[in-house]
Structure 1
Amino acid sequence: MNNYDFNLKDKVAVITGGGGVLTGVFAEALCTRGAKVALFDINKEAADMAAEKLMSAGGIAKGYKADVLSKESLTAAYEEVKKDFGTCDILLNGAGVHHPLATTGHEQLTKENMGDGRTFFDLDIEKVEWVYDIDFMGTFLPTQVISKDMVGKTGCSVINISSMNAISPTTTVPIYSAAKAGVNNFTAWLSSYFALVGIRVNALAPGFFVTNLNKNIMYKEDGNLSGRSERIIAGTPMSRFGNPDECAGTLLYLLDPKLSGFVTGAVIPIDGGFSNYCGV
C-alpha cells in the first residue's frame, strides 16, 4: 500500500467515530496521501488523541466533538471544519456501536433459557433505539449535514461503514445487523440520488476485526479465543481475523476516480470470505 501513488492533497475528509480503531486506520491512509482529516467523535479526548497521532506522523488532522445523533452538534462541528480546512470532499461515516442490553444472551431460544431475562423478548427498548439510531441515523444525519457542500465539486465521495452482518446476520446482534442492513439500502439509494451531481456513494462491509468494540467477546480473559471466535475462524475461508490495515486499501480504491470512477452504490465485503461460505 505504501507504493500506491494516489494523491489526496488539498482534499478535506470528515470521519465520524474518529476515535475508533478502524477509523484510525482509515484516517492514517488519508493523511498519508495528503488529505486534511477532521475527526468527529462524541468523545473529544479520543478524537484529539487520534489527531495528535496523525500529526506526529506528519499529517494534517484535528479532532472535533460531534454527536452523530444531533444535527445541531454536527452542523456546529462542520462549521469549525470549514473555518480550519475548507468544505468537505470525502465523508466517511464510521460511527457505530453495540450494547449488551440490545443483544441476546443466547444464539437460539429454547424452553430452558426462555425465562432467564436474556432473550429477544427482554431486549431493552431504550438501548435498542440507541444502537439503531447510532448505526443508521448516525450515517444519515452526517450525510445530510455535510454532503450538501459536495454538490457540483469533483472527486467527492461518501463512504459508509456497513458490516458483514448486513449481508449475513450473525447471532445475538439483531439490532446492529438490522441497522447495518439499512446502511446498505441507504447507500444504494443515495448513490442513485447523487449520481448526477458528482458524488459517488459506496460502503465497506468489514467482517471480523479485533477492535475496542468487540475485543472483550473475541478473547477470553486468559488471551485465548472464545468459543464464538473459534467458530468464526472455522467459518472464515481465510481462517483468521482481519487486520485493520487490510480495510484501508479498499477505501483508497473507492476514493480514486481513476480506479473506481464508475463505481457507485457498491457494498464491498472485507471479511475473508465469511459471508460467502456456508460451512461445507
Structure 2
Amino acid sequence: MRKDEYVGSLFSLQGKVAVINGGAGVLGLAIAKGLGKAGAKIAIGDIAPTSEAVEYLQKEKVEAKGYFMNALDKDTLKKAREKIIKDFQRVDILLNAAGGNMKGATTSPELSFFDLPLDSLEKVVSLNLFGGAVLPSQVFGEVMVRNEEGGSIINISSMNAFRPLTRIPGYSAAKAAVSNFTQWLASDASRFVTGTVIPIDGGFNAYSGYR
C-alpha cells in the first residue's frame, strides 16, 4: 500500500453522509469539498440557491445534492432532513457553516458602541448561535441517534470568541457562545455524538471590511 493510500484509508469517510448547513457559502463549500474528497456524500443546505455549489462539487467528482434550508427556521430544517434521509438514508456529519456579521452590528467612527441598534445585535447573535449551532444540532442530532456509531457535529467558532480583535461585539459574543455550546454538547450529548469539533476561523480586518 502506498503512503498516500494508507493516509487516505485512515481518514476515509467512505459511506458517510455529511450535511453542510450554509453550504453555498465560501467556507462551507470549501469544507464540503474536503469531506467529499475523503469519500463522504454531501448534502448542501442553504437559504441561498445551492445549484452552483452542487455543480461545483459534482465537477470535483463529489456526490452532492442541494436542499433549501433556513438555519433559523426549524420547520425548514426538518423538511430538509426528511429529504436528505430519503435520498441518502442517514446523516453522519453535520457541519454548521451558517453565520456572519452585519454593518449595523459593527462599531465605526460614525457608529459608536452606545448607538449600536439592538435589533442588529440580536440578528447577528441569532444567526451565529442559533442558526450556526443550536437549531441544526437539534434537528440533525436527533437522527444521528439512529446510527450505531453516532455522528459528528462541527461548529465553527472564531478567534474573536477568545480575544476580541475587531469592532464586532455581537459576532464575538455569539462565537464565544458557540464555543461554549459545543463543549456543552460534547459532554451532554456524548451518548450519540461521537465527535464535536470547533474549528477556529482567523477573523478579518473589520475596518477594511466595513469601511
| Matching residue's letter, 1:130 | K
The percentage of aligned residue pairs carrying the same residue is: 42
Which one of the candidate residues 13, 27, 30 is aligned to 2:18? 13
Aligned to 2:94: 91
The aligned counterpart of 2:116 is 123
Could you say if the C-alpha distance between residues 215 and 169 of structure 1 is closer, same or farther in structure 2, counting changes exceeding 3 Å? closer
Counterpart CA distance in 1 for 2:37 and 2:123 is: 34
When the two structures are superposed, what TM-score results if normalisation uses the length of structure 1? Answer: 0.68
User: Which stretches of structure 1, 4 residues or more, deviate above 6 A after TM superposition?
Assistant: none
Q: Partner amino acid for 1:30?
A: L
Aligned with 2:198: secondary structure? Answer: strand
What's the Cα RMSD here?
A: 2.2
| Structure 2 SS opposite 1:92 | strand
- The answer to whether 1:217 aligns with 2:174 is no
The question of whether the paired residues in 2 share the 8 Å contact of 1:48 and 1:64 is answered with no
Alignment of 1:63-74 (within 5 A): 63-74=66-77
- Cross-structure match for 2:138: 144
- Cα deviation for residue 195 of structure 1 reads 1.8
Which structure is higher in helix share? 2
TM-score when scaled to structure 2? 0.89
Structure 2 unaligned segments of length 5 or more: list them: none
CA shift for structure 1 position 204: 0.6
Once the two structures are TM-superposed, the CA of residue 83 in structure 1 deviates from its matched residue by 1.1
User: Is 1:28–2:33 an aligned residue pair?
Assistant: yes
Q: How many aligned positions are there?
A: 203
- CA separation in 1, counterparts of 2:207 and 2:34? 23
Whether the 8 Å CA contact 2:151–2:192 is kept in 1: the answer is no
Query: Greater CA radius of gyration, 1 or 2?
Result: 1
- Post-superposition CA distance 1:132-183 (Å, at most 9, x none): 1010001100000011111253162101001111011123100000000000
Pairing partner for 2:155 from 153, 160, 163: 160
Task: Provide the C-alpha distance between the structure 2 equivalents of 1:104 and 1:63, rounded to a whole number of angstroms.
Answer: 36
Listed as ranges, the matches of 1:36-51 within 5 Å are 36-44=41-49, 47-51=50-54
Structure 1: unaligned runs, 5 residues or longer: 107-115, 221-280
Alignment of 1:214-253 (within 5 A): 217=209
